[in-house]
Amino acid sequence: MSFYLEIKASLLKDVVKAIENINAESIWVIDHEGIYIRMSDVYRYKMLEININNRDMVNFKFDSAKPYYLGLVIDRLKDVTKTLKSSDLLIMDYSDGNPFITAESNGLKRNIKLIDISLIGQPPELMVSQEYQSVIESKKMSSFLKAISKSISFDVIINEGKFIIRSETDEGLAEISWSEEDCNLDTQLSESVTNFSTAEITKALVACKNNLVIKGSNDSPISFEWELASNSTIKSLVAPRV
């Protein structure tokens, strides 16, 4: 029993980038649909959920009646991906019982040692209370976070049919506001203000791209979801400041 996959380096680089800002270790679940990763930071302040569908891989073969649960230290995988160009193709394969995954690209083959999954804490299932949903461009969110990088926190605001992100900085007020139509705002709230850590949100969104689907409710964790590829997604959840 085994699995074999060929994947674009650009996709895997994005995955590594997202994971390394959350935790050093993660459990990768591989089944006939592809790869699933769910993890949190050590304080359970941030959570990350990654789905890599096999349709977004160049080649994928899975020969097992049950999923594989593999413990990976992300730096070991990064040692491989950092040497690759985005256009490169990475081959990964695993045989049942092996203490490592084999990774190969451009004729160079390396073994990535696995770790015992019992040593990796799994985050609890978390259902995000959804009293609002909006869709915004990730570039605008990234620009906002860069502009307020020295601030401790910022507010996510729902007010009179508008979705607003706002922070008081040493240079003054920084704010982006979207009308209901501009961000497809769907909300049950007439007014809501929730405060989040600038540093934690920045880490959570370091690999974001395309459009961000944002969900949450007053004084509750916020969820950001974006497309990793045509059929694959990343979801990042961050708790509010207390």
HEC profile for 161-192? CEEEEEEEECCEEEEEEEECCCCCCEECCCEE
Q: What integer pLDDT is reported at residue 129 of this predicted model?
A: 79
Joined together, the tokens standing for residue 129 give 């209370």
Cα–Cα dist 67/57, whole Å: 18
Residue 38's pLDDT band (cuts 50, 70, 90):
very high
Distances (CA, A) of 157 to 27, 153, 163, 175, 216: 35, 13, 6, 10, 11
CATH topology of domain 2-119: Proliferating Cell Nuclear Antigen (3.70.10)
Average pLDDT over the chain reads: 95
Residue 124's pLDDT band (cuts 50, 70, 90):
confident
Residue extent(s) of CATH 3.70.10.10 domains in the chain: 2-119, 132-226
Helix (H) or strand (E) holding 28: strand 25-31
The number of residues in the chain equals 242
Q: What integer pLDDT is reported at residue 54 of this predicted model?
A: 98
Q: Which CATH architecture has domain 132-226?
A: Box (3.70)
Q: How close are the terminal C-alpha atoms of the chain, in Å?
A: 48
Q: What integer pLDDT is reported at residue 125 of this predicted model?
A: 76
Q: What integer pLDDT is reported at residue 171 of this predicted model?
A: 85
Distances (CA, A) of 25 to 142, 226, 232: 26, 22, 21
Per-residue pLDDT tens over the stretch 56-105: 999 999 999 999 999 999 999 999 999 999 999 999 999 999 999 999 99
Cα–Cα dist 99/78, whole Å: 18
Q: What integer pLDDT is reported at residue 169 of this predicted model?
A: 87
The answer for residues whose C-beta is within 8 angstroms of residue 183's C-beta and 6 or more apart is 134, 135, 136, 163
Contact criterion met (CB below 8 Å) for 112 and 91? no
